[in-house]
Every structure is written in structure tokens, then in C-alpha cells.
Chain A
Amino acid sequence: MSLEQKKKIIEVKNLRAGYGYVEVVHDVSFAVGEGEILAILGSNGAGKTSTLRALTGEIKPMGGEILYEGKSIVGVKPYKLAQMGLSMVPEGRHLFGDLSVQDNLLMGAYLIKDQNQLHKNLEEVYKLFPRVKERAKQTARTLSGGEQQMVAIARGMMMNPKVLILDEPSLGLMPKLVAEIFEFVKEIARMGITILIVEQNAAETLKFADYAYVIQNGETVISGTGKELLTNEDVKKAYLGG
């Protein structure tokens, strides 16, 4: 299970990023191995989302390197990253609220021009998320928070991504739904898709993450396999409630 054996698909080295003149991310480094579930953990305001935003081209890094498949993707726009196989499921879900669930999914397949491929993807996503299929005709904004999160992930899957990036998928959901969402994440990982997940819910995330990094005050402070971190005293104290 060691990281070194796997080809690294994303590498972030000494990243610095922020907004205006305010630096929020001071020194973040991590690497995502192909096909693994990598978790980035940390409390609110630690710099997790800013790290992701720098990665997905939404904010400009102030320093450091971001490599995707060995090439720098600093300054590459989000839509280009999507074309390169990076699918981002943003915090707050960002569904197309006035569209039906199915139209949301079809919009997720914007980059797929082949109609047959598109229908195949839709079938696969529906197989993976039966709950989403049940809601296919419903307007997205009328769904519950958990269902919306499922649709957001399902939409992210429609483009056949190499890497699925999830920003706080458990945010605002009750524990039962969180468990359900994480089940889907595991299922997607089994399909061979690399997963980068950013979470505050360390206890649940560490149970299925292959490897995890903890960000504190804009710096990566601890890293290890999911199991290692679950038993790590510092992590236990700070994030797992003793």
C-alpha cells in the first residue's frame, strides 16, 4: 500500500496561495497516487478549500508547483482541467437548480460529444446511483441536501474523469447520509477512478482513505495511511475527539 509504488497523478509541492495580498496557504505539499483515495483533512479555515481552488485554477498560486500527470497545471483554467480529466465536485454542490436532475447529468457530459458514449455514461451513473435515477425528472433545487450531493457527484462522473475531486461532500448532511455518500465514493474508487477528497469529517474519511494529509494553518503537518492516522495520537486529539 505504500505510495511510492504507485504512479503519482497529482503532485503539489510547497504550494502558496491566497486572495489578494492575504496568503492563506503557506506550504502545502501532497501527492495523489493513481487509483487511490487521497484525503486532505483539516478544520474550518485551515486552507483546504484554497488549496483545492489553486489546484483547479480558480485562484492563482503565489508559489510552488502543481503537477498533473507530470506536467505543470499552474494557471490552467478550470474548463481546460475538465478536458484533461479532472472533475471537480465543488463545495455547496453548485447544481443547475432550474434544470431537472437528468439535464444536470447531461450538462455534466458537456465534453462528451458522442451520443452513444453519453447514453452509456448516463446508464452507468444511474446504475451507480439508483436514488438519482428515481429523481431523474425532478427539478434539482427541490431535492434534499443529500440527494443534491449525490447528483453533484453523479454529474462529476458523467465526463469519464480520471480524477474526481470532492470538496467537503459531507458538509451539512446528517450522519446517515454522510455514510451513504461515502459508500458511493468507495464504489467510484473501485471503478479505478482516482479520488481526491477534502473533508472536515476526519473520523469517517480516514476509514476509507488510502492516504491522508492533515492541513493546519495553511501547512501540511501530518501525513500517513488512513489507518495510521486513525491511531495517531495528535490526529486523535485534534480531529477525532480525543
Chain B
Amino acid sequence: MSTLLQALYEGLINGTIYALIAMGIALVWGVMGILSFSQGEFLMIAMFVAYFFSTATGLPPIVALPLCMGILFVLGLLIYKTIIYKALQGPTLSQRLITFALSLVLVNGMLMFFGGTFKTIQKTGMEGSLNVGPLVIAKNRIIPFLIAVCVFAFMLWFLNKTRQGKAIRATSMDKTAAEHVGINTERSYSLAFGLSAAIAGAAGCALSYYYYCYPSVGGNFQLFGFIAVVMGGFGSVEGAIVGGLIMGLVDSLTGVYFNTAFKYLGVCVIFMLILQFKPKGLFGGK
């Protein structure tokens, strides 16, 4: 019983990172029909920011959260204005592949500048663990979890309650209609791309608490994030969050009850099963 609880707990925590990645992918896809293969790399860049910040100042990574999100937001805007904006005027295939190319450039660019060694933040201020009932809670997972919950809450509030958020949602539902009611859809596009990069930035900062930082770290998270998006119903931000949490649970349960080596197998089997019964994903609607 306590093994199960422990596995559920850890799955949920890991799932929040997948959910953050998935959220960004869902947002960008929903608004502009771009498949963002570079979400994992945005996460990686934020991990480097958090790493260098923490190592240089000796402060815990959470202090670098605004920095991680800010840098990634600006980077996202720049990438949108230069690369994505142009790709959107081209054929569909280039729209699909452009972020894939971008991700290769980012991974290898970072490799060139910073090398491939694994970097970990030595002092996060959250070493050790707590015993809560039957659970052993690693302290280094607490802040990442809180970061994720805050980002979910903020994004759901932003998209549903604010004027700019509503503009983004309207743009994703019907671009023509959005333009006609007076929404600058170009602005919705750039904002959505910037935000999705910033969300990955938050995920990177969170992940830096307990994971090594190296240039190709984003790959796995990107893959899991993608499956989470499809599971949740492509384009639905809420669905992406749920999909991400499911990915985390499946990941940790296969690890505990079978073998960590089977986690991809477990995740992909569940993925295919869900698509068998809900071909448009859990939140895909009709």
C-alpha cells in the first residue's frame, strides 16, 4: 500500500513537469497550428539559466524563476517574430518541421558553448526528505510541485478571465471571427508563443531542483509532453495538464511494479489504449 502511495505521489510530481511542457505545446498548436518540437529545449535553456544563476550566487533556483520565465518569454517572442512568423506564410510541411530544426539548433548550439557534461545544482536548500505518514517526501520535489501548481492556476486564470487571454482563446477558436470582433490575432500569436516558452522556462527552473542539466535533457520531456497533449485532446490546455499528470503516473507505476526500463513501453501502451477508446483524446470533444 505504501509503495503504491509513494509511486502515485512521485508520478504526480513528475507528471507536473510533463504537464507544463504539454501545456505549452497545446497552447501553440491550438492558436497557430504549429507543432512545437522545441518545448523541451526551452526547458533545457531555463535549466541552464537556473544552474548558472544558482552556482554563481549560491541562491536557490526558485529565486531564478522570474529570470527563467522572462528570458524564455523574450526568446519565445524573438523566435516567433523571426522564424515562426515566416514559416506560417509557407507550406504546411515547413510549419510542421521548423521547430524540429530549431530544437536541433538549440541542443547542438548549447553543446558547442557549454559542453555535454551533466551539471547539477549543489545547494538547492532543499536537501533531505520528510516522512509524512507512509510517504517519504523528497524535499527537492516540493518547490517544483508548487511552481507547477502556480503556473497551472495562473495560465487557466489568464486564458479564461483576462482580456488578453480571451483574445488568445478566441483566436484559437476562429481566427477570422476573432479579427472581425477587433482582436489583433497577430498579437495573440506572438503572445501565445512567448507564453508557451515561458511555461517551459518555469518547468526548467522547477526541474533543476532534482535533475541534471545537459543540452539534450529536453528530449524525453518533449516526447512525454507530446503524448500528453494528444492524450488530452490536441489543443486543449486543460486536457494537456491532465494528460501530463497521467504520463507521470504511468511512468512511475511501471517503474515501481515492472522496471524503469519499461516506462516508455508503459506510457506508449496506455497512450494507444486511450486513443483506441477516445480517438480524439480525453478532452477532444466530438
Quick one: which of B239-262 are within 8 Å of A by CB?
none
Contact (A90, B177) CB under 8 Å given A79-B184, A107-B166, A110-B182: yes
CA–CA, A96 to B167, complex, Å? 12
Interface residue tally of chain B, by bracket? Answer: 10 to 19
A95 an interface residue at 8 Å Cβ cutoff?
Answer: yes
With contacts A79-B182, A98-B285 known, is A110 near B173, CB below 8 A? no
Q: Which of chain B's residues have a CB closer than 8 A to the CB of A77?
A: 179, 184, 186
A94 to B167, Cβ gap below 8 A? no
Residue with the highest number of chain A CB atoms closer than 10 Å, among B166, B167, B174, B185:
B174
Distance A56 CA – B180 CA, assembled complex (angstroms): 9
Question: For residue B166, which residues in chain A have a CB less than 8 angstroms away from its CB?
Answer: 107, 110
Q: Report B-chain residues with C-beta under 8 Å of the C-beta of A56.
A: 180
Q: Which of B177-213 contact A (CB under 8 A)?
A: 177-186
> Which residues of chain A are near B177, meaning CB under 8 Å?
90, 94-96, 107
- When chains A and B are docked, how far (Å) is the Cα of A107 from the Cα of B160? 12
Asked if A108 is an interface residue, CB under 8 A from chain B, the answer is yes
User: How far, in angstroms, from A78 to B183 measured CA to CA in the complex?
Assistant: 9
Q: Are B182 and A95 neighbours in the complex by a CB distance under 8 Å?
A: no
- A12 in the interface, Cβ–Cβ < 8 Å? no
Tell yes or no: B92 within 8 A of A by CB. no
- B129 interfacial contact with A, CB 8 Å: no
* A88: Cβ under 8 A from any B Cβ: yes
- Taken together as a complex, chains A and B put the C-alpha atoms of A196 and B165 apart, in Å, by 32
**Within 8 Å of chain B (Cβ to Cβ): is A97?**
yes
User: For the complex, is B170 an interface residue (Cβ under 8 Å from A)?
Assistant: yes
Q: Which residues of chain B have C-beta atoms less than 8 A from A79's C-beta?
A: 178-180, 182-185
Select which of B173, B174, B181, B186 is within 8 A of A111 by beta carbon: B181
Bitwise, B20-57 to A at CB < 8 A (1) or not (0) is 00000000000000000000000000000000000000
- Check if B162 is an interface residue, CB within 8 A of chain A: no
Tell me, rounded to whole Å, the shortest Cβ–Cβ distance linking A19 to chain B: 15
- Mostly, the B contact residues are helix
Contact A99 B179, beta carbon cutoff 8 Å: no
The answer for the CA separation of A221 and B257 in the assembled complex, in Å, is 78
Query: B180 contacts A82, CB within 8 Å?
Result: yes
- Judge whether B176 is part of the interface by a CB distance below 8 angstroms: yes
B176 touches A94 (CB 8 A): yes
Q: Is A44 among interface residues, defined by CB-CB distance under 8 A?
A: no
A91 and chain B: residue at smallest CB distance:
B176
Contact status A97-B180, CB under 8 Å: no
CA distance A56 to B285 in the complex (A): 33
The answer to whether A78 touches B180, judged by C-beta atoms less than 8 angstroms apart, is yes
Cα A155 to Cα B174 in complex, Å, equals: 14
Residue pair A110, B170 in contact (C-beta under 8 Å): yes
Interface string of A78-106 (1 = CB under 8 A from B): 11001100011110001111110000000
Q: A159 within 8 Å of B by Cβ?
A: yes
Q: Once bound together, how far apart are the Cα atoms of A21 and B176, in whole Å?
A: 23
Name the B residues within 8 Å of A156 (CB-CB): 180
Min CB distance A183 to B, Å, is 23
Please state if B173 and A97 are interface contacts (CB–CB under 8 Å). yes
> B167, A95: Cβ atoms under 8 Å?
no
Contact A83 B182 (CB under 8 A): yes
Show 16 A/B contacts (Cβ-Cβ < 8 Å), sorted by A.
A77-B179, A77-B184, A79-B182, A79-B183, A82-B181, A89-B180, A90-B176, A90-B177, A94-B177, A95-B174, A95-B177, A99-B173, A107-B166, A109-B181, A110-B181, A158-B181
Given contacts A79-B178, A94-B180, A97-B174, 8 further A-B contacts (CB under 8 A): A56-B180, A77-B179, A79-B182, A90-B180, A95-B177, A98-B173, A110-B166, A155-B181
Cβ-closest 10 pairs across A and B: A82-B182, A78-B179, A94-B177, A111-B182, A96-B173, A88-B180, A110-B181, A79-B184, A79-B179, A79-B182
